[in-house]
Structure 1
């Protein structure tokens, strides 16, 4: 019996879209087509692949109105924010601009006796398992360099944003990328794991939960398939005694609440120097009270529903447990009458929190943040490192040297100073600990989807 995959809209609870999942034989045939199509794609000139990928992104931009509406229905982001095109274009343009240099051979010697160099070859078939929270941005992180480098790509998007893969395939196929070189598919977890275990792919990029990443690793065990895993996060912000208070409040609270808190590198816990703590909390409360929770299609809504009832339920339970354990909530949910006990969830700030509470240790991925007072840098460093995750840290100070020194002591993938919740495509996007392994974007993003091949060419025989 064919399994149907459904997207339940968080806006009104209806089935917004549904598609049949491929059976295992159908999926195996799909993977075989991807493998067969890859060599011819890789044989095309690099400049041609770059041009086709850039045209695919241009085609996607032309779908903006449709994409923004579909995103609101699928995962609840207010239409006023206009989709993800700024980041999609920035990352795609940058990765295209560095492709020739990133993929060029590293020449060790080119003399009358020897030519020695390290070339980079596409790995073959790249499998992207994409998340729903930033469904276009997270996909292009791997899709663009993988195609430019000469790989074929299979995309399995999250059920919650199932139409994103269709739009990407439509845009890239219209640009001239062959249908078998870039395939959008619907797969069950079981078929996905079977394909990985059968070595259908040469590289798997997964963005999602820690449990999901562990399942991918188990499926790939013994296959020697390359893996890139961006998993959970509990990203901290630290406001030092010399910070610009207003800027810190504005950025950190936006980092905590934007997209209903459903951001991979969103701010989930904040540590504030005792000299600024009271003022920071007061301003943070005022900032959150100014939000408007509502239907994402209403122009004044700044906070939409969470993507799924079960995601909101996790956040509600974390807040309830923390309050029962002594935390103090500073936002009255009555200020947000759209909170329906389901996907629409009022934002919350918690104080009197500690690291014994689940809300300060486990990923929330929702519009809640805990704020703690610290006495000095050492206490803040210990608190920020007291987490199973390590994606980003946001440091607020007027002293870059102080920020850099603290950064050397933090267990994380990216250090920000005076900003947060941003990906610089020139820098590697990576994490440590339970956040996962591997990296995307930057020149290292090309290294993830290529393999080195060494050439030792002796020009003489004596």
Structure 2
């Protein structure tokens, strides 16, 4: 079995290497998780909450080191710090709503009957986490799963496999039992075998559409619960009454932050014809103010993409669009750090349409296409002309109109005058090829628990 290598996008070196578990060892992990789960679930809810929060606190004791590790693993500039604000907010919110969300709902409690609906941990939760926001995306499921009384097996993306080790070490140091939360390195074949053999009661996967399809195929016939957050091609729509400067600043940040490697990043923008020219001019100036460079340089606002093969996809999409008539507005020479590999100059494309891959397929990189629209109807048709549905961002002064348009968009989240954000009180969910299920909010607990009904007759006659 070949070792799995983590190739750093910073310099192309092998930053870490781990040997994947054999099938026998992986099966032993899942059996240990199953054996440990009942005892964990039997602990008081307050104790489980305290241990999860202590695990996060222990993790953050090393946050400076973790920021540097993240830069080496996936290229995010260190000037932006880590993901710790979100990790804390999401953990604290889910911890805060746990008692009410998990409490039995009593239907009747009288002299003859007691009837209530409880929520019970599903058992062993398998998290397959992505590399783009490796701590945040893991905590979305890890915190509620452990709080609800499940044991967890975590498999992190090979690009950020040290993150799983850091999380497990921190939670173990805080007192979470080693078998209750285990980090593993697995190859695809072993992962599929475990799912096929019903080793898990719920699988949460964040990644590509192809990866999600493989998860569904592996789980077919097992009735294993699946939560799938897959691709996205999130649109922004700038109405005629929008605050132009605010729209440019937020939408371009949403398109370019983290080198465009955001699940809910902005990948296509539709601008009302009355604002189009001004929006494009300001957007070009905004992007040209970025500095592409080594993520350890405090002046760098744009680092390399996580892997040169990811950058190759974006380069191909851009080249195809230009060949088909799109106009690039950013001169790559303005970004001399572009090395043809992981370091990729950002790009804005106009004269684009939906016949181009760059407007229809996920780019997951620092490129955005901008189209002129005549009004709401055209914008709505274009926003819905996508195989994906994660988020949509509407820029307007009219909240009622935003809600009206949002009700017609095939998407999981509707934003008004903001984008690229997760609110832990709202369900993180999608539709179409973006996947199924949901995390965060009270519904995030529903994903990692099952309903159990109690009908207790207190008399025999």
TM tier relative to shorter chain = over 0.9
Q: Does 1:206 align with 2:188?
A: no
SS at match of 1:247: helix
Q: Which whole-Å CA distance do the structure 2 matches of 1:459 and 1:365 have between them?
A: 59
CA deviation profile, 1:342-387 (whole Å, cap 9, x unmatched): 0000000000000000000000000000000000100000000000
3-state secondary structure, aligned to 1:98 = helix
TM-score of the superposed pair, with normalisation by structure 2: 1.00
Residue 267 of structure 1 corresponds to 266
**Aligned match of 2:359:** 360
Q: What is the CA–CA distance in structure 2 between the aligned matches of 1:172 and 1:146, rounded to whole Å?
A: 14
Cα shift readout 1:97-126 (whole Å, capped 9, x = no counterpart): 000011001111111121110000000000
1:174 is displaced (CA, Å) by 0.5
Partners of 1:450 and 1:283 in 2: CA distance: 48
Partner residue, 1:24: 23
Q: Distance in 1 between matches of 2:397 and 2:58?
A: 42
Verify: 1:386 aligned to 2:385, yes or no.
yes
Task: Name 2:214's counterpart in structure 1.
Answer: 215
Q: Secondary structure at the match of 2:309?
A: helix
**Matching residue of 1:87:** 86
TM-score (norm 1): 0.99
Matched, 1:112 2:111: yes
Q: How does 1:161-172 map to 2 (within 5 A)?
A: 161-172=160-171
Unaligned runs of 5+ in 2: none
Aligned to 2:40: 41
Match of 1:68 in 2: 67
Q: How many residue pairs align between the two structures?
A: 461
Partner in structure 1 of residue 317 of structure 2: 318
Partner of 2:98: 99
Q: CA deviation at 1:31?
A: 0.6
Q: Secondary structure at the match of 2:203?
A: strand
User: By how many angstroms is 1:262 displaced?
Assistant: 0.1
Superposition CA RMSD, Å: 0.4
**C-alpha distance in 1 between matches for 2:440 and 2:239:** 30
Q: How does 1:52-451 map to 2 (within 5 A)?
A: 52-451=51-450
Superposed displacement of residue 66, structure 1: 1.1
State the distance in 2 between where 1:35 and 1:428 align.
28
Matched residue SS, 2:111: coil
SS of equivalent to 1:317: helix
Q: Distance in 1 between matches of 2:136 and 2:42?
A: 28
Q: Deviations over 1:208-265 (max 9, x none)?
A: 0000000000000000000000000000000000000000000000000000000000
Measured in 2, the distance between the counterparts of 1:329 and 1:3 equals 42
- Measured against aligned partners, the alpha-carbon deviations of 1:24-62 in whole angstroms (never above 9, x if no partner) come to 001001110000000000000000000000000101111
What's the secondary structure of 2:183's corresponding residue? strand
| Equivalent position SS for 1:206 | strand
Secondary structure in 1 matching 2:92: helix
